[in-house]
Amino acid sequence: MDSRIKRTATAIAVATALAMPGVALAQTDAEKALEARVAELEKLVQQLSADQTKTAAEVATTAKVAEEAKKLPEPTVKSGGGEMLTIKGFIIGSLYAQDANFTFNNGQSAEFPSSEFARDAWILSGDVRNTRITMDFKGPDVAGMKVGGTLEADFFGGFNGTGAFSDEQPIPRLRLAYVDVVKGDTTFRVGQAWSPLFGNVPISPTHVAFPLGYGSAGDVGWRFPGLFVYHNLSKNTKLTFAAMRGSWSSPGSTLESQSAGEAGTPQFEARIDYSGNGWSTYLVGHYDQKDCRGTGTTPTACAGNGANDKMDGTAVEVGAKFTAGVFSFQGNVYQGTAIGQQFGAITQFGDISSVGGWAQASVKFNPKWSAHLFYGMEDPKDEDVVSSGNKRVKNEQLAVSTMYSTGPYVFGLEWMNTKLTNGTRAFDGSIDTSSIKGNQISASVWYKF
């Protein structure tokens, strides 16, 4: 555009010179044509100048609109108290085939086999109970502290009745409900939240609320009401402390806080996390004491090996994960005694000592495709198991899956194989064992929001 203006200006200058007084030239047809051309060029210059001014104004307006847009708050949902509410979660549907019945249930909560089907028998079914909704509340700053809270639910609360249509009507289940108060590097959490013992979580397209190995092959920890304190010691180090409600399976009503757990001490846990470039690790310790008299006066067999007055629950867990290029690895190992309330000892209640652990290797072929290999094992002490009136003495779980992710959607295929070993007391006092196996093949689709 600058060269055009220069040429136009030159033409104007020539025309002006030709028209100056004192220049004795006859106005020929060529001169008349030149004057017409000059007039046309003058008009063009005016138009170009106007366009340039308009373009600059448009650019300035666009920049101003963009700057104002940055100042606008993000879209939010306002609660009754004026807090900012973020709603998130996912919908998961799974189709699956099984050749055994599983505990804790079939489908998305299957962990270890409870009974084998007749030879060559399979069932084909579907499950949507992993579907979850989470509501995060962010409140105003109060006296220099940030306040907020979380409410989360899924649909593993059982089924609506026992009739022919009940399994199409799962009941919602409260998962998390807590209030956070944040002061500097410290967060105080009051309510129902995950115990620090619940650490790394295996990747699975189907087993989400009940992860692979959970309560069956080395993955332990549960949600309890209590006080939780999280403190960032440094950029890479975090310390967690929790004092949670005691819990056990007996005596009295487990729904009315009358068990040996509530009659004993709270559950205490401490955890330290450390992370580096592409890796992280943690160490957790647990202690609680059950009062086997419960809320009564007579000792019960809550200790498993006799009617003792007290029973201590202890556990130590170590977990880690790291990434190396397209590969990633994670897992944990634990040793615990009398922690059935934390899904230890293949989810058995008694004075049972148990060790367990799991590991998972993953490879990410590209941003969308990934594959995962899982193995977990739980091995309680046989004598402790049988003496406490239980029977599960060992469980092994293997799972292979592949997942495709695009935007908010995830598609996955998974094969899970589990071998459970049961033990019973023989006439000579020894322990006889027998095994049952179960397979599950599943296809799942997620929609994350």
10-residue stretch averages of pLDDT, the chain, 449 residues long: 50 45 49 70 67 55 56 59 87 98 97 90 97 94 91 96 91 98 97 98 98 98 98 97 94 81 95 97 97 75 67 97 97 97 97 97 98 98 95 98 98 98 95 97 98
Answer yes or no: are the C-beta atoms of 365 and 372 closer than 8 Å: no
Specify the pLDDT at position 180: 97
**Entry pTM:** 0.82
pLDDT in tens, 64-121: 555 655 555 555 566 666 679 999 999 999 999 999 999 999 999 999 999 999 877 9
For 89-448, CATH number? 2.40.160.10
**Whole-number pLDDT of residue 18:** 43
Choose among 201, 249, 202, 242: nearest CA to 223. Answer: 242
Q: Residue 46's pLDDT is what?
A: 72
β-strand partners of 96: 125, 442
Residue with tokens 């003792």: 308
Distance CA 216, CA 376 (A): 8
Cα angle value 261/263/267 (rounded, 5°): 45
Nearest to 18 by CA among 3, 38, 4: 38
Q: Taking a C-beta distance cutoff of 8 angstroms, is the pair 174, 192 a contact?
A: yes
In the chain, domain spans: 2-71, 89-448
pLDDT at 70: 55
Q: 187-218: per-residue pLDDT in tens?
A: 999 999 999 999 999 999 999 999 999 999 99
Closest CA to 221 of 201, 197, 202: 197
Q: What is the pLDDT of residue 19?
A: 45
